[in-house]
Amino acid sequence: MKPIWIVDDDPSIRFVLEKALARENLPTRSFTHPREVLDALADITAGDPARQAPQVLVSDIRMPGGSGLQLLEKVRELQPGLPVIIMTAYSDLDSAVSAFQRGAFEYLPKPFDLPKAVELIRRAVEESQREEVTEERQAETPEMLGQAPAMQDVFRAIGRLSQSQVTVLITGESGSGKELVARALHKHSPCADGPFVAINTAAIPKDLLESELFGHERGAFTGAQTQRRGRFEQAEGGTLFLDEIGDMPFDLQTRLLRVLSDGQFYRVGGHAAVKAHVRVIAATHQDLEKRVKEGGFREDLFHRLNVIRLRLPALRERHEDVPMLTRHFLQQSARQLGVEPKRIADSALVRLEQFAFPGNVRQLENICHWLTVMAPAQVISLQDLPPEVLEAPVFQAPARPAVADGQAVAPQPVIAMPVAAIAPAPEMVGGLHAVAPSAPQFAAAAPAATWAADAAVGLAAPAAAATSPVLSWEQALEAEAQKLLSGGQPEVWDALTRRFESRLIRTALVATHGRRMEAAQRLGIGRNTITRKIQELGLDAPDEG
C-alpha cells in the first residue's frame, strides 16, 4: 500500500501520527517542510523508481518553511486526485475553511482526538483507492461499445455535439449506460479539461439533496460546522451530470430551473449569489412528458433540459452487440479478480442473444462477473449460464424493415418460443422458431429456398414439425441446389447467386438505412460494384450516401 505523507514542523505531532497509523498497518513518510514534499513529488513525476506516490497527504497549515495552503494548491496541480487533510489550530478555522474550498478532503483541528484522526485518514485512504480503481477502469475500458445501428446513431449524435456545450437530456432504461453517454459527451466537448461530477438525485434523501447540489454555509442547519461546496461548485468549468432527474423533488426543481435560467445560485443558508459556469447533462428512465401531465415535473424545467434529447437503446434492441460486450466484460472481470479470462462457447453466446436483459448492459456485466467466478471450466458452456437466462423465454428481437422498391416494408409480427418447447437442434439458427401469433400449432416446414433466404438476412427459420430436422443455412442452400439440379433447372449457379446477392445487398442497405457507400464498405465491395448490382438485380434502392 502507498504511504500516508505527514507534513508538520512539530516532531511530536509527526511521532504521534506515525505510531497511531503504524498500529493500523498504514505506512507513513514524514516531512518537516513543504519544500521537501514538493521535491519528493517532483522525483515521482520524473519517474524515480525508488519513490512511491502518497495515498493521502496530511499537512499542517502553518509551518516555518511555507504555508499549507500554498502546498495544497501545488499538490492539486501535481496530483489532482490526492486527498489532502489540513491540520489546524482552532484559531486557524477560517484558513481551514479556505483550504476546504480549494479542494482539501477535510480539515483536522488541533488538538485532535487520535482515534478520530486515524478514522479520518482511513476514510481518505478508502476514497483515494476508489478513485484509483475508477481511473484504472476508465483507462483500460473503451468509452462505449456497440456496432448495432441504434448505437451508431448515438455515436454520431455525440460527434455532432462535440463542439457544443448545449444542455442534453438522455433517456433510456435503467442499466442501459446513460452515464457512459454523459461521460463521452463531456470528454468530447469544449469543457473536457474541467471536472465531470455526477449525482444520482434518486439516491439522496430529499432533505440532503439541496445541500448536495448547492452546498451550505456554516451554521445553516444543525451539524453544518463548516461551509461546504455543492456539486455545482465542484463541477465549475466542467459538466454536472444529474442522473434520474425525473425523481427530483418538486421544490428543488424550482431551484434547478433558476440555476439553468440565471446561471447562479445560493448556498443553503447563504445570501451571496454564486456564479455557475457548468454544462448540465440530465438523464432519466421515466417518461417526463407523462410526469409533466401528472403534475410531478415542472413543464418549464422539462423544456430547459430538453434542448437536445438522446435516446439510448435497450440491450434487447441491439442484441447483435451481446457477443462483443460479453467478451469485453469477461476480460474486465478477469482483470478485477486477477484470474485468467474465460472463453465462451458459441451455444452460450447464442442463448445470451436470446435473453431479453431487463437489466440491460448492467445485467450482462453482472452475469459475466458471475460466470467468471462460478463457471467450473475455462470455456463457458450453455449449461454454465445462470438460471435467470436458461429458464427465461426466448426473446426474438423485432426484424428491421426490409427495403422493397425504395419503400420500407413492415415485418410480420412473430412470437418467439422457448427452446424447451421444440425438439433439440444443435445447428438451429438463433435457437428459436418464429410462429404467426394466430397459429395454434407449429406451421409446416417451408421450402428450403425460403429457409435459406430468411437465414441469409439473419431471420429465424419457419417452424418445422418436431420430428423434422432443422437445417443450417448452408444445408438449406445445398438442399435447394440439389432440388434445382435434379429438376433440370438451367444455370443453377446464376439463379442462386442472383438470389444470394439480392438478399445480401438488401440486408446491408437496411443495416445502413439505405446508404450505399456505407453498405459497400461493410460488405467489402466498391461503390460502383454495389450500384451496378442494384441495377442488375432490380433492387432500385434509394441512394442516401
Do residues 530 and 519 lie in contact, with contact meaning Cβ atoms separated by under 8 Å? yes
* Count of domains for the chain: 4
Instruction: Work out the mean pLDDT of the chain and round it to a whole number.
Output: 77
Sign for the CA dihedral angle at 26, 29, 35, 39 comes to negative
Whole-number Å distance between alpha carbons of 510 and 523: 13
State yes or no: pLDDT of 364 exceeds 90.
yes
Indicate whether 46 and 120 sit together in one domain. yes
Indicate whether 101 and 26 sit together in one domain. yes
DSSP code at position 201: T
367 part of a folded domain: yes
Indicate whether 280 and 182 sit together in one domain. yes
Indicate whether 80 and 201 sit together in one domain. no
State yes or no: pLDDT of 349 exceeds 70.
yes
153 part of a folded domain: no
State yes or no: pLDDT of 269 exceeds 60.
yes
Whole-number Å distance between alpha carbons of 403 and 543: 12
**Of 253, 279, 311, which residue is a domain's last?**
311
Indicate whether 267 and 344 sit together in one domain. no
514: left (phi over 0), alpha (psi -120 to 50) or beta: left
Indicate whether 108 and 198 sit together in one domain. no
Lowest-confidence segment of 238-247, 277-286, 338-347, 362-371 by average pLDDT: 338-347
**Of 86, 106, 137, which residue is a domain's last?**
137
pLDDT tens readout for residues 45-59: 776 666 788 999 998
Closest C-alpha to 277, from 330, 243, 240, 332: 240
Q: What are phi and psi of 449, to 5 degrees?
A: -65, -45
Indicate whether 122 and 194 sit together in one domain. no
Task: Give the pLDDT of residue 161.
Answer: 87
Task: Give the pLDDT of residue 453.
Answer: 32
**Of 89, 122, 137, which residue is a domain's last?**
137
Pairing type for strands 308-311 and 434-435 reads unpaired
pLDDT tens readout for residues 397-416: 655 443 333 333 333 333 23
Indicate whether 71 and 130 sit together in one domain. yes
Indicate whether 109 and 230 sit together in one domain. no
Indicate whether 100 and 216 sit together in one domain. no
Do residues 99 and 107 lie in contact, with contact meaning Cβ atoms separated by under 8 Å? yes
155 part of a folded domain: no
Q: Tell me, what CATH number does 90's domain have?
A: 3.40.50.2300
Range of the domain at 182: 160-311
pLDDT tens readout for residues 500-544: 888 888 888 888 878 888 888 888 887 778 888 888 887 764 444
Residues 6+ apart with CB under 8 A from 480: 447, 448, 449, 452, 496
pLDDT tens readout for residues 135-154: 555 444 455 677 788 888 88
Q: Tell me, what CATH number does 333's domain have?
A: 1.10.8.60
Whole-number Å distance between alpha carbons of 269 and 211: 10
Task: Give the pLDDT of residue 439.
Answer: 31
